[in-house]
Chains A and B, each alone.
Chain A
Amino acid sequence: MKPAPFNYERPKTLDAVCDFLAKNSNSLILAGGQSLLPMLSMRLSRPSLLIDVAHVKGFEEIKKIGNTINIGPMVRQSVALESSVLKNHLPLLIKALPFVGHPPIRVRGTLGGSLVQADPSGEIPLVAVTLGAVFHIRDGNDNIEILARDFFLGPMLTAMPSSGCLYKISFPVSKYSKIGCGFHEIASRKSDYAFASTAVQIEQNENGKIETISLGIGGALDYPQVINISGYNEKKINLKLLKELISEALLNIDFVGDFHASASYRKRVTIKLASRSFSDALKEIGYI
């Protein structure tokens, strides 16, 4: 199980990365490699050039600018877990990250790598769609912004241009005084590909009114999706109502089935996990 031959470059600037991408149609970006290396070793991926972006200036930064958190694509998952900025402003991401692989994977794995990999059960893509992240991509001389929920198209399939490079991930900072969140997933063994995962964030204003509810589901579908939950404004929110609303929202969604987990199972589990995630979120804001 040895990779096919390829060349290797280690550029220091985004321009240089884009230059390599433009000149080599069969090139791939190496952003940690925790998913890519197995694909290379099994020869499921055969690039002629690997562009290691670990040393590109600014790619490891986490910054809060105004109402946006900007994250460099090479921020390692283990670093993100310890980031005080992320702990303060993106608690949902912090809840999701421990489910990514095992500790040694998180040491090398990056946020950008995980997003572009677009594994259907990826936790970071799920959080990105749930929180409405924006991906900043450079394609040649063009800067493109793609909303997370428009980025994921299918299993390992994204809207990334073939010569594009993700250079920044922006998460909006909540404008409300309180946010509560919950993340739950189920896999055969902890850290396996999730059969189903759910991410919830609830925003509450100063008067205790719930302003927004975001529910994202992953693992059970071809790609992570945001589920619109409507009908909660009129009534007081409780878990029973939410469970009904979730079940209704999932009614016409096709779930993935395989020998690890049937589609019917994934659906039931998604509902259960979504309820748990909501329960956590509501508890966090003191609503229940």
Chain B
Amino acid sequence: MKREKFKFLSKDRVPSENSRFVSGKGNFVADIDRPNMLHVAILPCHEPAAIIKKIDFSKALELKGVVDIVTGDELLNAIKPLLNGLDTPHVKRYPLAIKRVRYAGEWVCAVVANSRAVAEDALEKISLELIKQEFVLDAEEALSDKSPNVHPDHGSNILLEKKFIWGEVEKDFDKSDHILNYTVKWGRNSTVPIETFGVVAEWNNIESILDVWASIQMPKFSDHIATVLGLKGNDVRVHFDVDVGGSYGVKRGIKHTILASYISRKLNRPIKFIEDRLENMRAGDAHGPERKFNVSLAFDNNGKINSMKMRALDNAGAYAGRAPFQLGKPIGAIVGPYKISSVEYEAISVTTNKAVQEAVRGFGQAPTNYALETGVDKVASYLKVDKLDLRKLNFIKASEFPYTIPSGSEYDSGDYLTVLEKVFKETNYKDLINKRDKLRKKGIMAGVGIASCLEPSGGNSSFEPLLNEKNKTTTWMESCQINVDALGDIIVKIHTTSSGQGHETLVSTIVGEILEVSPEKIRVSRPNSLESLPGNSPVGSRMAIMLGGAAARAADKIKSKIMEIAKFKFGVSKDNLIYKNASVISNDGNVLTWQQIIDLCHRQINELPSGMDPGLASFDIMQVPTGGKLPKNNKVHMYPCYSFEFHLVLITFDPVICKPNILSYTVGHDCGTVINPSIVTGMTYGGVAHGIGAALFEEFVYDENGQLMTQSFLDYLMPSSNEIPEIKIVKHCTPSPHTYFGQKGSGESGYLGAPAAISSAINDALNPLKLEVSSLPIRMHFVSDLIASHENNGKFKK
């Protein structure tokens, strides 16, 4: 398809989902009520580690309106443990703690009652008898033999420890002029959607079917439910027409769903479980990576970075969750946009007595980008060269694509220098530096930050076989169905829930583009899992590529059938036919209109080519482009597409108060062909805001007693409209050769570079004092105390 002829694609069109949301007509899980429904509330245990000796809930059961109380012991005998994807048979997770509590807030009991309020009343009447155990919170400490094991049967706290060597690392280190070692830390934060996780589960024992409505963004969700509950796959019906109130990766409430489903089967009544904010924050198992990086960079006098050694130690929390794999995905872009010829990467994931991690936007890529970008800044500072020039020197050039990185991924396309040029037309780098210097002269701390990074997109799961040899998965398909009804109207079915990504707009735009029908006229339906074809949900920035790709291919199949009919009807070859405005025109002037096509397909099989089926419908199950191979020699090609982003920031702050003021924020963004500009722009703004949150505000802080200090929105601080500046986005398009329209992913854009850019700016501001901060979030008092102690030291020296 010729790109310049887009009718609907890349045009500023209002996303079709918007009108239901602005009128309060979204269909969120909390809005779903079923007849005879019961409600669940959870009793947490506030010890970070303890053996559960006794749970006495007799008084709670006496309370009017309380129907049942479920404990871990009951679940142990009734269901299988949740799946974690690793080969760690002794690290078992159930929805409720089994015999032992492994982090403060872990769920111990579920009360089922007529209302949520009564269920909470009952929680207060349950008493726990516990034997406190030793606990460990810090990841390095957890590695030590002296630390208690979070899972004693597992024998250590290590979930994953893998060292990869790609290329001639030692040789490259030996031949380099300089080596720089540094440590950076990424604080435990998450995407914390405004909607908590919620689920309504309803077992129907007459039909043996479990209906599930959930605020879900999770691959293989219904398979997981069926496996753990011991049901057949076709016993579970997950409804995809639930609107999800934000996710950005974390809405995978599998333990919530298993719990609600189990109770529903047991009681044969619909169960509603909507986490409250406290349940969500402390034990929704939706924290993000908490990571320490020890990095060595080997580079030459001229600034050329030759090799990198990176040790990434991740504090997974009490159970495996998705934490270990979040160390795996960054392998796909481990060198960022730079030509680094060899890499040693050691990934270690350890259990501690903290809450469990879930997939967070970027799946580990943002912390890795922060670690790498901080290093690039450090090299520049060490060599006393401009950090922008250093990046330009090390960039992969536009002419060098496709470019294979040491770990095996092949970058599809890019033109980083052109993106930078475009950014500087909007916000000139030199001008920004001058502005910074003027501000400094006034006694204001001022710093310019930059970050350049990649967004691997088109998500597949190829890091799973890389980290777990028993996993032989090589496909991560997505699918789409199209039916043109007897009135000629188009229905497109997608097989996933959406959490704000605009999938309905995505497919209606693409199908409309190919069939040349106004997207407004296309109805997009989100059926349940039993009426769906296989898919893997919106993870890894994949839907523009995968759902968009499947929709395009399905539409092509419709078009092919129409062309076959026209060929037969007019008795000419395909070359003499043109598809235009939903009609087919032959070169001798015959026209087959849409209405005629519909009549032929739905009413006149006698007029169709012999053997052709009636109706006008298609489906497509699409494999991830460039995917499909198992790892070889510890290397694997991961995602098909690599979007690029460049951040340029100016931050100022008072040297005492240290409240960062973001004076200027510009992002250059290249995600190939854009399907809907306002959706992509919005996601990038939102990603930057997330990144600013991670860099400056957001952290799940545990005190020395293992208690979560940031359980509510009073202490877990998310940026408001006062903290997010006016962000300028500069767009560029380098199409991907691997996708239908040249599109790449953009769901993680902004977030992947913003933390690094903010940190870069603050460190630039501190640079004249020879001070630096190397952990996120960067708290005001930390910077202020750093400056103050520097001044005091200075006085001492005098």
Contacts and interface: CB of A to CB of B under 8 A. Distances in A.
Direct contact of A and B (CB under 8 A): yes
Interface string A246-279: 0000000000000111101110110011000000
Query: Chain B interface: which size bin?
Result: 20 to 34
B280 to A, nearest CB: 10
A261 B720 contact: no
Contact of A272 (B654, B703, B717): B654
Given A189-B697, A272-B657, A262 B785 contact: yes
Given A1-B277, A188-B780, A43 B785 contact: no
Contact of B714 (A3, A43, A193, A261): A193
B723 A259 contact: no
Interface in A163-205: 186, 188-193, 195
A43 to B, nearest CB: 7
Interface in B113-149: 116-117, 120-121, 124
A250 B124 CA distance: 45
Contacts of A265: 780-781, 784-785
Given A189-B723, A190-B722, A268-B784, A2 B714 contact: no
Q: Report the contact-size class of chain A (Cβ under 8 Å from the partner).
A: 20 to 34
A288 interface: no
A154 interface: no
A269 B117 contact: no
Contacts of A189: 697, 717, 719-720, 722-723
A120 B120 CA distance: 30
A269 B697 contact: no
Nearest to B696: A188
Contacts of A191: 720, 722
Contacts of A195: 780-781
Contact of A268 (B116, B719, B722, B788): B788
Interface in B97-117: 116-117
A3 B701 CA distance: 26
A25 B784 CA distance: 47
B120 A186 contact: no
Interface in B649-704: 654, 656-657, 659, 697, 701, 703
Contact of B781 (A2, A3, A261): A261
A123 B458 CA distance: 51
Contacts of A264: 781, 785, 788
A186 B278 CA distance: 27
A261 B788 contact: no
B725 to A, nearest CB: 14
A192 B784 CA distance: 19
Interface string B709-733: 1001011010110110000000000
A237 interface: no
Nearest to B116: A2
B784 A269 contact: yes
Given A190-B722, A260-B779, A264-B788, A269 B124 contact: no
A188 B697 contact: yes
Nearest to B711: A42
A202 B432 CA distance: 41
B276 interface: yes
A5 interface: yes
Contacts of A268: 656, 784, 788
Among B709, B723, B784, B788, the one with the most A-chain Cβ atoms within 10 Å of its Cβ is B784
A259 B709 contact: yes
Contacts of B714: 38, 193
Contacts of B116: 2
A262 B781 contact: yes
Contacts, number: 71
Nearest to A190: B722
A4 interface: yes
Per DSSP, chain B at the interface is loop
B720 A260 contact: no
B120 A2 contact: yes
B784 to A, nearest CB: 5
A260 B329 CA distance: 32
A261 B780 contact: yes
B781 A260 contact: yes
A42 B701 contact: no
A9 to B, nearest CB: 20
Contacts of B120: 1-2, 4, 43
Contact of A1 (B124, B276, B701): B276
B702 to A, nearest CB: 10
Contacts of B703: 259
Contacts of B785: 262, 264-265
A186 B124 CA distance: 38
Given A2-B116, A259-B709, A186 B781 contact: no
A186 B723 contact: no
Nearest to B659: A186
A273 B654 CA distance: 12
B656 A272 contact: yes
Listed residue (A38, A193, A269) with the most chain B CB atoms within 10 angstroms of its CB:
A269
Contact of A269 (B656, B715, B719): B656
A186 B656 CA distance: 11
B174 to A, nearest CB: 44
B692 to A, nearest CB: 11
A190 B657 CA distance: 13
A273 B785 CA distance: 16
Interface in B277-309: 277-278
Q: Among A191, A265, A266, A272, which residue has the most Cβ atoms of chain B within 10 A?
A: A265
B204 to A, nearest CB: 29
A176 B780 CA distance: 40
Given A186-B659, A189-B722, A265-B781, A5 B121 contact: yes
Among B276, B657, B785, max chain A CB count under 10 A is at B657
Contact of A259 (B121, B659, B701, B720): B701
A260 to B, nearest CB: 7
Contacts of A188: 697, 717, 779-780
A246 to B, nearest CB: 13
Contacts of A186: 657, 659, 780
Contacts of A5: 117, 121
Contacts of B712: 38, 42
A220 B651 CA distance: 26
Nearest to A2: B117
Contacts of B117: 2-3, 5
Interface in A1-52: 1-5, 38, 42-43
A43 B121 CA distance: 10
A164 B276 CA distance: 34
A266 B657 CA distance: 9
Interface in A32-80: 38, 42-43
Contacts of B717: 188-189, 192
Nearest to A184: B657
B709 A269 contact: no
A244 to B, nearest CB: 16
Given A195-B781, A262-B781, A264-B785, A269 B657 contact: yes
B121 A4 contact: yes
Contacts of B121: 4-5
Of the candidates A189, A264, A266, the one having the most CB atoms from chain B within 10 angstroms of its own CB is A189
A264 B780 CA distance: 12
B278 A1 contact: yes
A109 B126 CA distance: 35
A1 B281 CA distance: 13
B597 to A, nearest CB: 55
12 contacts: A1-B277, A3-B117, A4-B120, A5-B117, A43-B124, A189-B722, A260-B715, A260-B781, A261-B780, A265-B780, A265-B784, A268-B656
Given A189-B722, A190-B722, A268-B784, 20 more contacts: A1-B278, A2-B117, A2-B120, A3-B117, A186-B657, A186-B659, A188-B780, A190-B720, A195-B781, A259-B703, A260-B715, A260-B781, A262-B782, A264-B781, A264-B785, A265-B781, A265-B784, A268-B788, A272-B657, A273-B657
Lowest 3 A-B CB distances belong to which pairs?
A265-B781, A2-B117, A1-B276
